[in-house]
Chain A
Amino acid sequence: DSGVTQTPKHLITATGQRVTLRCSPRSGDLSVYWYQQSLDQGLQFLIQYYNGEERAKGNILERFSAQQFPDLHSELNLSSLELGDSALYFCASSSGERYGYTFGSGTRLTVV
């Protein structure tokens, strides 16, 4: 157990639908990062939150949004889903980027 909890582990949904992925960071970590990994692709940075505030944005689609709550857990909302959104979505937490990330086990999203 890495200490970063992601739910659900698997999600199957239809095109056009909306889903929410949840992440609880490791105890003490203020930063949460979201990454997307499509089949046989590398890690694409989506967004970072630090103590409730958006800190950095990557290649996140407008259909996607995220937030970090006062208890530091974070949610990634994906709407108007398309087949191409099928991927592994990872959450990571960190006490500072210079220390590296602790990743959750990921949510495998399948859009049918």
Chain B
Amino acid sequence: AQKVTQAQTEISVVEKEDVTLDCVYETRDTTYYLFWYKQPPSGELVFLIRRNSFDEQNEISGRYSWNFQKSTSSFNFTITASQVVDSAVYFCALSEASTGGFKTIFGAGTRLFVKA
């Protein structure tokens, strides 16, 4: 069965600290896709990254980096030198093949507070 677990409900850090948001998934498929989305206090949902199951290369985009490890079924997200603007709810999502196409499920989200 498809499942996404974001065990950290809330994380609070002080500006300039590094922070890692955990995402653990379950799937029976060998082909699947993982995503991270950001929901700032303004409410909109913003796509951050997509990773397919065949690409275990880590990715870095500025202060953001993602660590994909199939061996532990994890797709963790690290913010380096956090800033107040990083305060948001972050959702991890998994998309896998299903009858009629792909099916996506979201984790429950991790709320990140970055204090000045």
Contact = CB atoms under 8 A, between A and B. Distances in A.
Interface of A: 2, 42-43, 45, 50, 55-56, 88, 90, 92, 96-103, 105-106, 108
B44 A98 contact: no
Interface in B24-41: 33, 35, 37
Q: Contact size class for B? A: 20 to 34
Contacts of B3: none
Contacts of A103: 37, 44-47
Given A43-B45, A97-B95, A100-B47, 5 more contacts: A56-B100, A99-B50, A102-B47, A103-B45, A108-B43
Interface in B96-116: 100-109
Q: Which of A50, A100, A105, A108 has the most CB of B within 10 A?
A: A100
B51 to A, nearest CB: 10
Contacts of A99: 33, 50
A106 B43 contact: yes
A90 B101 CA distance: 21
Interface of B: 33, 35, 37, 43-47, 50, 52, 91, 93, 95, 100-109
A106 B40 CA distance: 13
A80 B20 CA distance: 43
A45 to B, nearest CB: 8
A2 to B, nearest CB: 7
A100 B35 contact: yes
A99 B37 CA distance: 13
Contact of A42 (B35, B52, B104, B109): B109
